Amino acid sequence: MILTIISDTHNKHKHITGDLKGGDLLLHAGDISSMGYEHEIREFAKWYNGLNNYHHKVFIAGNHDWGFQNNVEKVKSILSEYDTINYLQDDFITVGDSDPHDPNVNTVKIWGSPWQPEFYNWAFNLPRNGEELKAVWDMIPEDIDILITHGPAWGFLDDVEGRRNDHLGCELLAERIKQIKPKIHICGHIHTGYGHYYDGHTHYFNASVLNERYLYSHLPWHIDWNPLTNEIQFL
C-alpha cells in the first residue's frame, strides 16, 4: 500500500502539489489553514478533492483550523460538496487497497482526532493530563492500524528546536499508544519535530511540511507500507 503523509500546510498546500507522487492513501494531520476561515476551508477542500492520483484522501483539523471547532456543521456542509475526501474528528474510517488481487493487503482502519494539550489560545485545546483529554484518547479503538492526531505523543518527534528536553507532546496520548500499539501514528503541529521513529511496534511520523518560519522545507513522507508485517520502504 502506497501512502503519502503530510501535515501543517497552512494554506500553502499548492506549494507541495508537485511532490505528491500519488498512491493508495493520502493522509493529512491538520493545520490546513491559518485560522480556519470558510474561504480557507473551501480552497483546501477543492485542492484536496482534485488530487486524483490518490484512491483515498483522509484528513483531520489542527489547532489553527478554528472553523472545524466553532462551526462543525457548516464545515461538514462544505465538505459534503466534495466526494473523494474524508474528514475525521474522533472517528474512524476503514479503507481498502486499490488492488483487490494483492494477497498482502486487505483493509486498514484509520482513526483521527484534532485535540491536543492546551497550547496557547488555539483551537482544540484541552487541559494537559486532564480527564477530558483522557476520554478522547480512550475512544481510540484497540484494533486501529493508523492513528492520526494533530499533536505528537510526548517524547516522540515533539522537541522544540533550540530548547533541549522541551517536549510539547501529550503524555496521555503516549500512554494510549503504548497500550494499543497502532502500526502507524501520524502527527504534525511541532514543525521542528519533522521526522520518523520506529519503536519496534509503531512507526511515528511527524509530517509537518513547513518549518518554524512557515516555509516549505520538509518533503511529504512517501512510503510503501505492508499493513500485515508493518514493514515500510521509503520512496
* Runs of H (alpha helix) within 80-170: 131-138
Q: Pairing mode, if any, of strands 116-117 and 125-126?
A: parallel
Q: How does pLDDT run across 161-198, given as a tens digit for each residue?
A: 655 557 889 999 999 999 999 999 999 999 999 999 99
Q: How does pLDDT run across 47-63, given as a tens digit for each residue?
A: 999 999 999 999 999 99
What domains can you pick out in the chain, each with its CATH number?
A: 2-234 (3.60.21.10)
The answer, yes or no, to whether residue 99 has pLDDT greater than 80, is no
d(CA 79, CA 162) in angstroms, rounded, equals 39
The model's pTM: 0.95
d(CA 31, CA 103) in angstroms, rounded, equals 36
Gyration radius (Cα) of the chain, Å: 16
Angstrom distances, CA of residue 5 to CA of 26, 60, 101, 147, 179: 6, 12, 25, 12, 24
Angstrom distances, CA of residue 231 to CA of 26, 71, 183, 198, 234: 18, 39, 9, 10, 10
* Runs of H (alpha helix) within 171-225: 171-180
Residues 85-102 have a mean pLDDT of 82
The answer, yes or no, to whether residue 31 has pLDDT greater than 70, is yes
How many percent of the chain have pLDDT more than 90? 89
